[in-house]
Amino acid sequence: MRPTLRMLSESLVEQIIAEGMALLRDPGVRVHNEEARRLLAEAGADVDAVRLIARIPETIVRQALETTAHEFDLFTLDGRPAVHYGGDEVHFDPGSAALSILDPETNRQRVPLTADFVRLVKLVEQLPQIDAQSTAMVCGDVVPEIGDLYRLYLALNYIRKPIVTGAFRTDTWWTMKEMLVAVAGGEAALAARPIAVFDVCPSPPLLWSDLTCQNLIDCARAGIPAELVSMPLAGATAPVTLAAAVVQHTAECLSGIVIGQLARPGARVVWGGSPAAFDMREGTTPMGDVATWMIDCAYAQVGKRLGLPTHAYLGMSDAKIIDAQCGMESAGGTLLGALAGINMISGAGMMDFESCQSLEKLVIDAEIIGMAKRLVRGIEPRDEPIALSLFRKLGHRADYLAEPHTLKWFRKELYLPSPVIDRATTDGWLRKGATTAAERAAERVGSLVASYQPSPVPPELRAELRAITTRAARKFGMTALPPLPDFERV
């Protein structure tokens, strides 16, 4: 049996969906995108062209829930299904779009550069617990206008795993699509075997900005999956009661599903988010708070009731260094998200709310993720009878270590951690240098990155990606890109 977390009673789920639908009728959703307003009006929504508000009747929402994709796969760059969105399957990718990296030398944050990003991408390839890549940091050595697409350009040169990404502008989305089409071998191939999903974020409360709405429409039309990242901030941009924050999330995501389906029926849209419970002292957005995790798990339950693929930002910490708080918060969110059966959990490596990536934290988080994945595989009988034959054979002898039964099952039954997790005797720990988890993590980052094998990207595709990116950079006054580590001379 798969252990499962249920945050809401069935009747509360129904009421939340009903109130979410009611919010779309009154007060409606603010839509700052002209095309989306036109689509909504044509479908029968009551659109106020002055206040930019769409009131969406339930029939349109129900229709969209019929046509939206209920499950789909993301593929590796060589065409194998790697991530299944749907059901209770759980996958993990690093938190995305960090503006800083925790420098392991100084233990302070700094601006990430191309070399940092490439190192992170290689590390993610080498971590078996992490299922997908993400465009996890924004590099400071290119012009900000190409900050989004440059990450994808770098990643596509090194990755095999599928990637969670997102655009910061409407025009850069097209450049990013062009790259994905080049890698997939055509638009039809990309739509048939998507290798990327785009995060699109409504603004709380109940607003679709022009940019994010256009990204959603463009994704839907191109057959590229989009992940709705609704982020009610309970107590600030959303009601403080957790159930009411989930109602707001429901309304924002339902409106995203509607816009996606009006752009193209059948579009793949994920029920996702990054809510937080506002910190009432500091005025910050804690990702490591138990109420934050509860909102995530609750909205995932709502999405599952609607038969939708799910996503959440979990497994992050608000700590500024790798300390006890960092591990505690990351573990809490990761374990709960896994138990809630959330299809894609983004956040590994992330700290300082959602602003800083740490490679060292990422390898520690990979251990937490390994344990979480073990947890949700649950406990199986394995043998029939479960234990009687073993005891008939061994009686009272404690010889299980030598028993073939142990050799047969231990890799399946136990999670076997990397040396990041210390389980040595005290003497053994002292002999190995009396290290902290962060120190062992730094060592593992080094060895994993060194073991990375280049992805089989043909030289002509590499050149094409570079040409696409250089064209975009020139539009913003940047004539040459930083050298590509391992391929171009620094």
Partner 1 sequence: MCSELLAQIVASLVAGDPDATVDGTRQALAAGIEPLAIIDGGLVPGMRIVGEKYSTGEYFLPNLIVSASGMKQAMAILVPELKARRQHLTSSGTVVIGTVRGDIHEIGKSLVATMLAANGFEVHDLGVDVPTDAFVARVKEAGANLVGLSALLTTTMHGQKDVIDALTKAGLRAQVKVMVGGAPVTRKWADDIGADGWAQDAVAAVDLATRLVAHVQQVV
Q: Which of 53, 236, 258, 294 binds partner 1 (CB under 8 A)?
A: 236
Contact 40, 258 (CB under 8 A): yes
Nearer of residues 65 and 111 to partner 1, judged by Cβ: 111
Q: Phi and psi for 313 in degrees, rounded to 5?
A: -90, 110
Nearer of residues 235 and 417 to partner 1, judged by Cβ: 235
Q: Which of 281, 392, 411, 489 binds partner 1 (CB under 8 A)?
A: 281
Asked if 291 touches partner 1 (CB under 8 A), the answer is no
Q: How far is the CB of 206 from partner 1 (least distance, A)?
A: 15
Enumerate residues 338-357 that contact partner 1 by CB under 8 A: 355
Asked if 396 touches partner 1 (CB under 8 A), the answer is no
**Residue entry with tokens 């390839």:** 125
Q: How far is the CB of 251 from partner 1 (least distance, A)?
A: 20
Q: How far is the CB of 139 from partner 1 (least distance, A)?
A: 12
Nearer of residues 235 and 446 to partner 1, judged by Cβ: 235
Residues 6+ positions from 313 with CB-CB distance below 8 Å? 95, 229, 273, 274, 287, 296, 345, 346, 347, 354
How far from chain centre, in Å, is Cα 264?
24
Q: How far is the CB of 101 from partner 1 (least distance, A)?
A: 12
Nearer of residues 124 and 236 to partner 1, judged by Cβ: 236
Asked if 144 touches partner 1 (CB under 8 A), the answer is yes
Asked if 99 touches partner 1 (CB under 8 A), the answer is yes
Stretch that binds partner 1, among 6-14, 126-134, 273-281, 335-343 (CB under 8 A): 273-281
Q: How far is the CB of 351 from partner 1 (least distance, A)?
A: 14
Asked if 143 touches partner 1 (CB under 8 A), the answer is no
Stretch that binds partner 1, among 49-57, 223-231, 234-242, 477-485 (CB under 8 A): 234-242
Q: At what angle do helices 242-263 and 10-25 cross, to 10 degrees?
A: 60
Tokens of 303: 């999405």
Asked if 280 touches partner 1 (CB under 8 A), the answer is yes
Q: Which of 133, 237, 274, 357 binds partner 1 (CB under 8 A)?
A: 237
Query: Under rule CB under 8 A, how many of the chain's residues touch partner 1?
Result: 14
Stretch that binds partner 1, among 65-73, 275-283, 333-341, 464-472 (CB under 8 A): 275-283
Nearer of residues 12 and 244 to partner 1, judged by Cβ: 244
Nearer of residues 142 and 484 to partner 1, judged by Cβ: 142
Classify residue 108 as exposed, middle or buried by CB count within 10 Å of its CB (0-12, 13-18, 19+): exposed
Asked if 284 touches partner 1 (CB under 8 A), the answer is yes
Q: How far is the CB of 352 from partner 1 (least distance, A)?
A: 10
Q: How far is the CB of 112 from partner 1 (least distance, A)?
A: 12
Tokens of 200: 């699109």
Asked if 100 touches partner 1 (CB under 8 A), the answer is yes
Q: How far is the CB of 26 from partner 1 (least distance, A)?
A: 24
Q: Phi and psi for 439 in degrees, rounded to 5?
A: -70, -40
Contact 280, 227 (CB under 8 A): no
Q: Which of 11, 26, 283, 402 binds partner 1 (CB under 8 A)?
A: 283
C-alpha to C-alpha distances, 438 to 68, 74, 330, 376, nearest whole angstrom: 43, 32, 14, 27
Asked if 135 touches partner 1 (CB under 8 A), the answer is no
Q: How far is the CB of 281 from partner 1 (least distance, A)?
A: 6
Stretch that binds partner 1, among 279-287, 305-313, 367-375, 474-482 (CB under 8 A): 279-287
Q: How far is the CB of 122 from partner 1 (least distance, A)?
A: 26
Q: How far is the CB of 236 from partner 1 (least distance, A)?
A: 5
Nearer of residues 125 and 318 to partner 1, judged by Cβ: 318
Q: How far is the CB of 285 from partner 1 (least distance, A)?
A: 10
Enumerate residues 185-214 that contact partner 1 by CB under 8 A: 203
Q: Which of 235, 265, 482, 485 binds partner 1 (CB under 8 A)?
A: 235
Q: In what order do the strands lie in the sheet with 226-228?
A: 133-134, 163-165, 196-200, 226-228, 269-270
Nearer of residues 38 and 110 to partner 1, judged by Cβ: 110
Which residues are at the interface with partner 1 (CB under 8 A)? 99-100, 144, 203, 235-237, 278, 280-284, 355
